[in-house]
A = this chain, B = another copy of it.
C-alpha cells in the first residue's frame, strides 16, 4: 500500500484519538500535503518541531493499528465487496451460470460475516 495512503487511512480510523493540536498539524501533513516548512510557518513552531510531531502521530496511529487491526479488517472487507461487484458485472456482461454466480457471492458474503 502507498505510504501516504496508508497514513491517511490510519488517520481516518484512529485520528480522533489524537489531541486537537496533533490533529491540526497532522492533517496539514497527510491530508493537505503541505511541507514541514509550510506547516512550521503557519503553526509558529520550528520545522524540527513539526517533524517530531508528525513522527509521533504516525507512531501513535500505527500503535493503535498494531493492537486493533481494524484498518486491515476493513481493507479486507472492502476487497471482498468489490469482488461481489465484479462478479455481478461479469454476470451482467457474459450471462454466466446464475447458480454459480449466486454460490460465488454467497461464499464471499459468508467470508465477510466471519470477519465481522
Instruction: Please give the residue numbers on chain A whose beta carbons come within 8 Å of chain B beta carbons, in ascending order.
Output: 13-14, 16-17, 64, 67-68, 70, 74, 77-78, 81-82, 84-85, 88, 91-92, 98, 102, 105-106, 109-110, 112-113, 116
Contacts and interface: CB of A to CB of B under 8 A. Distances in A.
A88 B68 contact: no
* Stoichiometry (number of copies): 2
A73 to B, nearest CB: 8
B112 A67 contact: no
Given A14-B68, A85-B109, 16 more contacts: A13-B68, A13-B70, A16-B67, A17-B67, A78-B113, A78-B116, A81-B113, A81-B116, A82-B113, A84-B84, A85-B106, A85-B113, A88-B105, A88-B106, A92-B102, A105-B105
Given A82-B113, A113-B82, A88 B102 contact: yes
